[in-house]
Structures are given as structure tokens and as C-alpha cells.
Structure 1
Amino acid sequence: MRILHTSDWHLGRSFHGVDMLEHQARFLDHLLEVVDDEGVDLVAVAGDVYDRALPPVDAIKLASDTFARLAASRARVVVTSGNHDSAHRLGFADDLIDSAGVHIRTRASRVGEPVLVDDAHGPVAVHGIPYLDPDLLREHWDLESRGHAAVLGEAMRRIRTDLSSRPGVRSVVLAHAFVSGDAPVEASDSERDISVGGVSRVPTSLRRHRLRRVGPPPRTPHAVRAGPLLRLAARLLVLGDQAPQGFLARRPRCERLRRSGVRRCAGASAARPDQRDAGRAARLPDHADLESAWLQVSLTDPVRPLRAMEQLRQRFPHVLQLGFAPPEVSTESLTRRPDVRRSDHDIALDFLREVRGQGASEVESALLRDACDACCPDRDLDQVIS
């Protein structure tokens, strides 16, 4: 049985104000191509179909169209809900949708109820564990401790009970959880932090109840992770074969969607100090590899270029953030004796010189003078005599 593992689509997500739906749709087109090209029998979607509980209408339509296309393919589909999904909305009409070959598992009450998928060697029991809220299930499942480890432990107990009634049947379990060992773990850049005192973490010991991997005897426990859909993190798709003797995971087949990920870069533009009107920020040298990446740019020019974002996007259309980090400017020249009175206009000119590294032009100086005068009381105004 050929299995395609994917997760974290996060449909409807925006990234620094950029709508990602177009790129997500291209990835899902690629996923359908992999299903056809690789002869996939089972597509396992392990949670976070949407980016939030109330996804945009266009995101719902994209998910609906994708599931309909998967239902028309040769593959069976098992989908679980993640912590970003609304279990009730994603699982709407799940019993009806089951008949189309797309099995959506979002209800805790169905944990331990497998989807049976047959191949030439017999049935495979596919158990989908949705994201389980420990606070909601602790009393309902009569758990002694709190946290995700407790609810997932109970979920695995129910799955083992089911599998004990199916001797010899191969099994696959998919879940959406934060699995870590004892070492500190960096947060994923695609996930919101749901931890409270570490109760969001699940120990790696639970992996022994998941996938079996083909290898030298004895067969070793194995779990695989698909990762977020776009290159805001690691892997996208994992292909594997469920053979009679166990599970063999293949190298992930990734599609980067012609993006080289999220990159940070810093440097000066090609502008000369006397070219403040144009900036020429787009003429950054030797950065051809960044032209298709989402960028966070920090300009180090001593003088802030005007219309820098506009200039940058002429060459780098996916600049998301622009900062300005000029070299430190000495403020010794701004020191004045306490007995020297300076006008508001002089203070404004000094401030501009300090933050920009270059003094104001005649036009800018005149604008600043008009602004300062507009903030001062009119000395020619006749006094009101009461």
C-alpha cells in the first residue's frame, strides 16, 4: 500500500499581510499530481487543514474542491482535525462524506474506530486521532492527570484495544500533537504556542504505538512527520509503503513552489548619498538567489532611501518587511551649551541629521520651518480684552 502523509495545510493563512491562498492552491495541485504519478492508495492528512476555526470562504472552497478531487482519485483519504481547526466545522456531515472515500475524523468519541483500507495483502487499520483538548476530555474520559500526554495515552489505549481484536492486521495511526523528548525544543514557525507548563508536549515514548518500519529484526518503532505545507518550515509530503512485514518510509517528495523560503538579508543599497530622490534600493548586488524568496530586508545605508520598498519590489517582489539600520552616527556635533537658545526649527534639523545621517535640503528645511511656525501661537493676533 502506497501512503502519502501530509499535514498543516493552514488554508486561509496570511503571512505579514500577504494572502497565501494562491500558493496553497498550487501546492494542492502538486499533491494531486503526486497521488496520480506515484499510484498512492492512502492520503493521510494529519490536522490543521485550516489556519483558524473560522476560515475564510475562499479557504473552505479550496478545501472542498481538493477533497472532491481526492475522492475522484484512486486513493482513500483520512483527515484529522488539528488545534487550528474547528472540529465541528471540519467534521460537518462526516458520516455522509465517508461514503465518498474521504474519512474525516474530528470526534473524540470515534477514537479507536479505524478506517479499513484493503490492499493485496489484506486490510490495514487506519486510526486517525484528532486534536484532543485535555481540559474538555479529562472528566469525560476520567483521566487522572492533565495534559496532552494523558489524552493521547488514553487514545492509544483505545486504539490498542481495537487492534487486539484484529490479530495480524497492519495498522497506521496519524495524530496532530507536539512530540518531544526531554531536550529543549524550538517552537515551530507555523504553530501558535499552546503550551501551559509543558502540558502540550507528548513524550517520544508514545511513538512505539505508531508506525512500523521495515528493517533488520526486530522491527523498530518509527514515526514520521510531514510538516507545514509551504516552506515556512520543513517537509511537505512523505511517501511510504505499508508492506506485509511493516512500514517503509521514503525520502519526502517536496515541492517548494518556486520559493526559497523565508530569508533575512541586510546590506546597503546601490544608492549614492546624492540620490536620495530615487534610492535605487532594488540594485542590491549579488542576490539573485533571493528574487523568489519571501524577504525581511534591513537597509544599512547611512541615508534612508526614499520609496525604498517600491524600489526593492521592482526586483524582489516578495519583500514582506523592510527595516532601516544605519551605522551609528556620532551625536557630539549636537551638543550645545545650556545658555545657547535654539529654535524649534534648529532642533528639528538636528534631529533629521541624526536619524538620517544627512542634513535637510532647502525644500525640506522650508517645510520644517512652516511646520514649526504652524505649531506656534500667532504673535500678531490681537489680544482679547475681557
Structure 2
Amino acid sequence: MRILHTSDWHIGRTFHGHSTLDALRIVLDRLVDEVRARAVDLVIVAGDVFDSATPAAACYTLLSDTLRALADTGARVVVTSGNHDSAARLGFQAGLLRDGIHVLTDPASVADPVTIDDADGPVHVYGIPFLEPALLRHDWPGVRTQQDALGHAMELVRADLAVRGGRSIAVAHCFAAGVEPTPHLERDIQQGGLDIVPLAAFEGVDYAALGHIHGRQQLAPHIRYSGAPLHYSFGEGDKPRGAWIVDMDADGGTSSEWLALPVPRRLVTLRGALDDLLHGDAHAGAEDAWVSVEYTDDLPQRDPLRRLQERFPFCAKVVHSPTVVPVAESRTYADRVRAARTDAELVDAFLVHVRAGEGLSAAEAEVLAEVQGDRIRVEALA
């Protein structure tokens, strides 16, 4: 059986205020083409289909179009909910979906697999939605953590599998032990011991298709994250985008191939002096990319985002990151103002405060002296 494992579509997510729907449609259209060309039997979407619990209408349109196109290839499709999805909203139309599309969002049904038969017999696909311990304590006594919840779900899966027999796949959305998360990207998850799920939880199944982490990772030969199909943060700009193609043999053994998907607009981080970034030839290749800029000028510059966008239309983020950070002044601004004895000292105290330690330059002191001289002359004439 040939399986395509994807996850974390995050339909509706914005990128620094910009919609990602058109870019995601390009990627998902290619994914459908690959499913057809590679004769995939089963497509797994391991959670976070939507980015929020209240997606806009256009998000439902993209999801419906994609699921319908995947089903038209002849593949079966299994979708689970993640921590960003509303299980109720994602699953409300599950009973109305066409044959071959299965949306699994109910924790009470984790031991009721979608069974797919091929020439080698049945493959049981157990869809485990994101499990919120606080919502399960009454139904699953003793559950207090993500580890407890997923561990209990997998016990139910193994018990059912012992009766059914055959090959098996578990689909889950969680933070598994051993992953390398993208900083500030995988939201609503803790890296403390309470929310980490040990790999031993997935014992007993032939393949574990995981979601939640946005970069592809293989934690064991049969346990993988596929990552997200788009770059949703500059922090993941160097991570490949795609999906896993997994071939399962008659005994449940698996082999995998990474399927690269297109990147509609690449992500680039540039660092340097603002003038060089605005005019330097070395940065010409980034003019059609999403750009994050760290400009290294000693002082903050006027309106840097607008100026950068004149050259880089898709500049989305600008950070002032001076090469040399001045030593912090031990006195407070109020102390410096009180200590000032002349107008020049008062202006210098203000500039030190607003320019991170940089006071009057020689040229500025000269201009100030000239202005003060003119003022004195005017006052004398008055």
C-alpha cells in the first residue's frame, strides 16, 4: 500500500499580515497531482487542517476543493484534527462527506479504525485527534497530561488491533520525545515533561503519522513528522517543504521517500547596513522573496520598512540589530536631566536616552551652538 503523509496545512494562517491561501492552493494542487501520478492509495492529514477554531468561508472552500480533488484520484483520505482546529467545526460535516473521505475528530472513536484493503489484506488506520486532557478526565479517569491521554488512546488502539489483526497505522497530533521544534512557531505546546509523549506510546502499530511540528523529522524508522506544506515563519525558512511517501509491504514493513513540494515564494533573511541593503548588488536575488531584514546601523533609521519595500516588495519584517551595543548608562534619564547645567547638556541627555547611549555628535554640537547663538542675538535685539 502506498501512503502519502502530510499535516499542518494551517488553512487561513497569515504570514506577517499577508494571506497565505493562494500560496497554499498552489502547493495543495501539486500535492493532488503527485497523489495521482504516484498512484497513492491513502492520504493522511495529521491535524491542524485549519489555523483557527473559526476559519473564514474561503478556508472551507480550499479544504473542500482539495479533499474532493484527492478523492477523485482514487485515493482514500483520512483527516484528523489538531490543537488549532475546532474538532466540532472540522468534523460537523463528516457524515455528509463523499465516500473515501474520512474526518476523524471524536476521541471516543479512536479504536474504530478506517480499514482499507489491498492485495495483501487489511490496513487499519486509527485516527487520534488532538487530545485535551481537561476535556477527557470524566470519560478517561486518571488522564491528567498529554502523555496520559495519548497513552490511553493507544492502549485502546492496541486492544482493538489485537482482535482485528492485520497491518496498522496510527495518526496523531502531539509533541513527541526527541523532536526539534522551530522556536516561536509550534504554538500552544509546552516542552516540559507534562506534554511530551514518549515514543514508546506508539508501540504496536506499523507506522505512526504525526503532526504538530512544522519541519520533517524521523524519530524512528516507522515514526515521522511530515511538517507543514508552507513556510509560516522566517524561523523555518531553511526547512524543506513536502510530504512523506510511505510504502507498506504485506508484513507491515515500511520504506519512505521524501516528496518535495513547491515553495511559492522563498524566505530570505538579510543582515547589513541599511544603505548597503537598499543599494548593494549582492542582494538583487532577494527582490522577489519574502524578506526579513536585520539592519546593523549604530542608530535607528527613519522609516526603514517603507524604504526597504521599495526594493524588496515582500519585505515583511525589519529589526534594528546594531553591530556594537553601547554599554547601558547607569544613571536614569531623570538623573541625567537633573544633572544638566546647560542647554547642550540637556539635549545630550535626551539624545543618549532616545538613541541607546549615543549623545551629541561633534556636528550636532556645532549646529546646536549656532542655534543658541542666534537665539541669544534675537533676545538681545528684543
Residue 42 of structure 1 and its aligned partner are, at CA, apart by 0.5
Kindly provide the amino acid, as one letter, of the partner of residue 270 in structure 2: C
Unaligned segments of structure 1, at least 5 residues: 214-219, 272-280, 370-386
Q: For residues 179-218 of structure 1, what are the structure 2 equivalents within 5 Å?
A: 179-181=176-178, 186=181, 189-195=184-190, 197-212=192-207
Given the alignment of the two structures, is residue 310 of structure 1 paired with residue 306 of structure 2, yes or no?
A: yes
The answer to whether the 8 Å contact 1:282/1:313 transfers is no
Bigger shift: residues 112-121 or 197-206: 197-206
Mapped partners of 1:304, 1:265: distance in 2? 17
Secondary structure, counterpart of 1:84 in structure 2: coil
How far is the alpha carbon of 1:348 from its aligned partner? 9.5
Is 1:207–1:222's contact at 8 Å kept on the other side of the alignment?
A: no
Which digits, 9 at most, give the CA deviation of each residue in 1:47-91, with x for residues without a partner? 000111111222122112211222222111000000100000000
Q: Which residue of 2 aligns with 1:115?
A: 114
Aligned to 2:170: 173
Shift of 1:331: 11
Conserved? CA contact 2:47–2:82, under 8 Å: yes
**Cα RMSD for the two superposed structures:** 3.6
For the 8 Å contact 2:41–2:75, the answer to whether it is kept is: yes
Identity %: 38
Residue deviations 1:209-266 (CA, integer Å, cap 9, x gap): 33359xxxxxx862121111213444531001121122323231122414443x4332
2:48–2:81 CA contact under 8 A, matched in 1: yes
Change (3 A) 1:309 1:164: same
Q: TM-score, normalised by structure 1?
A: 0.77
- Answer 1 or 2: higher relative contact order, Cα 8 Å, separation at least 6: 2
Q: Compare 345-354 and 125-134 and name the one that shifted more.
A: 345-354
Distance in 1 between residues matched to 2:152 and 2:337, nearest whole Å: 73
Q: Which stretch of structure 1 is more off in the superposition, 291-300 or 304-313?
A: 304-313
Does the aligned pair in 1 maintain the 2:222–2:254 contact within 8 Å? no
| Structure with greater helix percent | 2
Equivalenced residue count is 344
Task: Give the whole-Å Cα distance in 2 for the aligned partners of 1:32 and 1:166.
Answer: 32
Shift of 1:10: 0.6
Distance 1:23 1:344 in 2: 55
Contact 1:293 1:318 survives alignment (8 Å): yes
CA distance 1:210–1:223, shift in 2 (3 Å)? farther
- Residues of 1 paired with 2:201 and 2:246: CA distance? 20
Q: In the alignment, which residue of structure 2 is the partner of 1:375? A: none
Gaps in structure 2 of 5+ consecutive residues: 209-219, 330-335, 373-382
For the structure 1 residues 227 and 355, does the alpha-carbon distance in structure 2 shift closer, same or farther, using more than 3 Å as the test? farther
How far, CA to CA, are the matches of 2:360 and 2:29 in structure 1? 48
Report the 3-state secondary structure (helix = DSSP H, G, I; strand = E; otherwise coil) of the residue aligned with 1:241.
strand
Match of 2:87 in 1: 87
Residues 188 and 256 of structure 1: CA distance in aligned 2, closer, same or farther (over 3 Å):
farther
- Change in CA separation of 1:203 and 1:308 when aligned onto 2, cut-off 3 Å: same
| Counterparts in 2 of 1:186 and 1:127: CA distance versus 1, 3 Å | closer
Name the CA shift for 1:63/1:3 in 2 (closer, same or farther; >3 Å): same
* Residue in structure 2 matched with residue 159 of structure 1 by the alignment: 157
User: Are 1:10 and 1:229, in contact at CA under 8 Å, matched by a contact in 2?
Assistant: no
Native 8 Å contact 1:11 1:21 kept in 2: yes
Summarize deviations over 1:19-41 as a string: whole Å, max 9, x none: 22221111111111111111111
Q: What is aligned with 2:378? A: none
- Please identify, of 68-77 and 287-296, the stretch whose mean Cα deviation from structure 2 is larger: 287-296
> What is the alpha-carbon distance in structure 2 between the residues aligned to residue 355 and residue 249 of structure 1?
64
Please give the TM-score of this superposition, normalised by the length of structure 2. Answer: 0.78
